[in-house]
Copies of this chain bind each other. A is one copy, B any other.
Amino acid sequence: MVEFAQFGAGRIGQIHAGNLARSDSAKLRYVVDVDPKSAKKLAEKYGAKAVDRDTALGDPKVGAVVIASSTDTHADLAIAAAKAGKAIFCEKPIDLSLKRVDACLKVVAAAGVKMLVGFNRRFDPSFKSLHDRLRDGEIGALEQVIVTSRDPSPPPLEYVKVSGGQFRDMTIHDFDMARWLLGEEPAEVFAAGSCMVDPDIGSLGDTDSVMVVMRTASGKLAHINNSRRAIYGYDQRVEVLGSKGMLRAGNRTPTTVERAGIDGVARDKPLHFFLERYAEAYAAEMAHFIAALGNGVPPSVGPKDGRQALVLAEAALKSMKTGAVVKIPQ
């Protein structure tokens, strides 16, 4: 039984706490949040205590932490947790600054603690199945990867301002997905972007519509397309082409109901957003982390994965600005 301290009692924090509670091998001991009321409410729901950071990290009974607080606190908390010898489940991104990420990862490595970075989509049953079947050789040698990823609607402008920009905030998930599926690091990144959805996003110097092409040293190609708005719901699809065929994973819907009427045949639109679509993925992610704590195997999504996705985001940003391919040191 591993006892946990969790930082962050907001929306995603509640998801993680609930998944922790369902485990027979883990227990939530502490909740820490800048808002004491939120911390208390979440703590009470699961028989934990709302405390401050130092209490949580200072308690030797705590074996692991969940970092689900605001992005700007991730790196500091990970550093503090690592120094205290706690295993770390850290929501993505580790930080928006590659320099700070590197500083953090250095401490984590020195401490020798396990760390999972929250690329939840790798735990989606459909994407995981596609990935595993690809690795099992079902479509022979991989040649192309296509990732479609669109949010149902743009985030509030206040969020956009501190998000680090579309590549670091949104595409970062898709960079991770592409890396994971490619099984090989992209060597070249090209990106183009526009503001097509909300002019206010453009005023902030950000994009809301982007397309990326990447190429690995062996010649594999990957494409990502993103939009901040798909009014039909959260559009999350992956396609891989290989020498012996293609695998695709599509959206999930609330029901299987189909209506045939005078205007056509209509089905449900995709599940609305990440909390619905990735509910199973979040549960599987936490179960994986807890399992990793009890065996000698590191979590399948580690610090390097967190770093590399950011490297690709930075490269995409540079490529979009310069109109040229950016090479990624291999």
Report the Cα distance A150→B81, complex, angstroms. 50
Question: Are the CB atoms of A255 and B220 closer together than 8 Å?
Answer: no
Report the Cα distance A200→B166, complex, angstroms. 40
Question: Are the CB atoms of B125 and A255 closer together than 8 Å?
Answer: yes
* Total identical chains: 4
A262 near B: Cβ within 8 Å?
yes
Question: Are the CB atoms of B194 and A219 closer together than 8 Å?
Answer: yes
> Known contacts A211-B213, A244-B231, A254-B125; is A138 also within 8 Å of B259 by CB?
yes
0/1 interface trace, chain A 219-258, chain B, CB 8 Å (1 if under): 1110101010111110100000101111111111011111
> Known contacts A211-B223, A324-B325; is A258 also within 8 Å of B247 by CB?
yes
Question: Are the CB atoms of A235 and B231 closer together than 8 Å?
Answer: no
A269 near B: Cβ within 8 Å?
yes
A251 to chain B, nearest CB (A): 7
Interface-side segment among A8-16, A58-66, A139-147: A139-147
A130 near B: Cβ within 8 Å?
yes
Report the Cα distance A173→B256, complex, angstroms. 20
Chain A interface residue count: which class?
A: 35 or more
Q: Which residues of B contact A110 (CB under 8 A)?
A: none
Question: Are the CB atoms of A260 and B269 closer together than 8 Å?
Answer: yes
0/1 interface trace, chain A 136-160, chain B, CB 8 Å (1 if under): 0011010110101010000000000
Question: Are the CB atoms of A260 and B243 closer together than 8 Å?
Answer: no
Question: Are the CB atoms of A245 and B268 closer together than 8 Å?
Answer: no
A190 near B: Cβ within 8 Å?
yes
A1 to chain B, nearest CB (A): 15
A246 to chain B, nearest CB (A): 4
Question: Are the CB atoms of A213 and B194 closer together than 8 Å?
Answer: no
* Chain B residue nearest in CB terms to A254: B125
A264 near B: Cβ within 8 Å?
yes
Q: Which residues of B contact A188 (CB under 8 A)?
A: 192, 323
Question: Are the CB atoms of A264 and B268 closer together than 8 Å?
Answer: yes
Question: Are the CB atoms of A246 and B266 closer together than 8 Å?
Answer: no
Q: Which residues of B contact A193 (CB under 8 A)?
A: 221
Which of B143, B232, B250 is close to A246, meaning CB atoms less than 8 Å apart? B232
A222 to chain B, nearest CB (A): 8
Report the Cα distance A252→B194, complex, angstroms. 33
Q: Measuring CB to CB, which residues of chain A are less than 8 angstroms from any residue of chain B?
A: 125-126, 129-130, 133, 138-139, 141, 143-144, 146, 148, 150, 188, 190, 192-197, 209-213, 215, 219-221, 223, 225, 227, 229-233, 235, 241, 243-252, 254-270, 323-325
Can you list the 8 inter-chain pairs with the closest CB atoms, starting with the nearest? A194-B219, A232-B260, A245-B261, A323-B325, A126-B255, A266-B266, A246-B260, A143-B196
What are 26 sample pairs from A and B whose C-beta atoms fall under 8 A apart?
Answer: A125-B255, A126-B256, A143-B209, A143-B227, A144-B209, A188-B192, A192-B213, A192-B215, A197-B243, A209-B221, A221-B225, A223-B223, A223-B225, A232-B265, A244-B262, A245-B260, A247-B260, A248-B259, A250-B256, A251-B256, A260-B269, A262-B269, A264-B267, A264-B269, A265-B266, A323-B325
